[in-house]
Amino acid sequence: MKEITKELVKNFIPERKVDTHKGDFGRVLVIAGSRTMTGACILACEAALRSGAGLVYALVPDEIMAQVQVAVPEVVIKERKLGVPDYSEYDSVIIGPGLAVTDEAKALVGDALERAECPMVLDADALNIISYNHWQDRINDRCLRGLGTVITPHMGEAARLLKDDKDFDFEGSGREEILNELYYVTGATVVLKGRRTLVRPMFGGSLDPVYVNTTGNPGMATAGSGDVLAGIIGAFLGQGIKNAVVSGVYIHGLAGDIMAEEVGEYSLISRDILKGIPKAFNNILEE
């Protein structure tokens, strides 16, 4: 395994040119949120903005549009009732945080897997929908078409994704074996969340080593933490940052570590991790 360190990530985060505009830093579409899980969408959207995305769009149900707009006024709101999006307008897609498992959500995930030609982060309920409908091969099809695809399961979601793999003993296997099996089943870049998060990326047809993160703490085991991570990774993909997933995992953990120093691990919540993102960038980019 290769450790994800500050020195490594610093090489991947580019300095910004003076003569730029918001269109240079990616248009990120976040397909997220439902009546009872508005916060997941809000966290993912703000995380994407805090991670440098030039423009963030949220495709949400009309019943939560106002809540998302007030919470994150920088986000451009898209109504789900108007139909599926034109993915050609976006540089990356994040789908799943707080989406719920409904017929509408199933249609959205299926359409995104089929039509989106840009890099995609599949998180939370998108992974549950894929598991329940046995769509792991659809992820593989995307990857075979050369489309960057990232899955971000925790251990429970990993178990559901691998439940149809008759040759795989989930209970008796270690995390690296689970990580590798998820890669073989889906073909995607895999982020297996947890203590010392593992990443197995695929770039340019050649397999990179397994990466193990060196940031993060137990306080980050809190509702919404994964939504923040999805937002960071999606923003990096939209900006075309090299090793976007490895960098996103590290900065997410570092933001949590910085804020745990301020509020303590017991009191850490996901909004604290959001506040830590700018501090994490400053820590990495300092001379």
Domain limits for position 198 = 2-285
> Are 82 and 224 within 8 A, CB to CB?
no
What are the residue ranges of helices labelled H in 91-135? Answer: 103-115, 125-132
How much is the pLDDT for 170?
61
| pLDDT tens profile 91-119 | 999 999 999 999 999 999 999 999 999 99
pLDDT tens digit at each of 287 positions of the chain: 899 999 999 999 998 889 999 999 999 999 999 999 999 999 999 999 999 999 999 999 999 999 999 999 999 999 888 677 999 999 999 999 999 999 999 999 999 999 999 999 999 999 999 999 999 999 999 999 999 999 999 999 999 999 877 666 666 668 999 999 999 999 999 999 999 999 998 654 445 689 999 999 999 999 999 999 999 999 999 999 989 999 999 999 999 999 999 999 999 999 999 999 999 999 999 85
Choose among 203, 276, 210: nearest CA to 241: 203
How much is the pLDDT for 243?
93
Length of the chain: 287
Q: How far is CA 143 from CA 157, 176, 249, in A?
A: 20, 21, 21
* Backbone φ and ψ of 91, nearest 5°: -95, -20
CATH number at residue 8: 3.40.1190.20
How much is the pLDDT for 83?
73
Query: Residue 120 is encoded by which pair of tokens?
Result: 């995609």
Give me the sign of the Cα torsion angle 247, 248, 249, 250: positive
Number of domains in the chain: 1
How much is the pLDDT for 172?
62
How much is the pLDDT for 65?
97
Please name the amino acid found at residue 38: T
For 150, the enclosing helix (H) or strand (E) is: strand 149-151
* Backbone φ and ψ of 213, nearest 5°: -80, 150
Structure pTM?
Answer: 0.96
How much is the pLDDT for 204?
44
Choose among 156, 237, 158: nearest CA to 201: 237
Beta bridge partners of 189: 150
How much is the pLDDT for 81?
80
- Pairing type for strands 55-60 and 27-31 reads parallel
How much is the pLDDT for 111?
96
Count CB neighbours of 205 within 10 A: 6
CA distance 87 to 37: 24
How much is the pLDDT for 207?
56
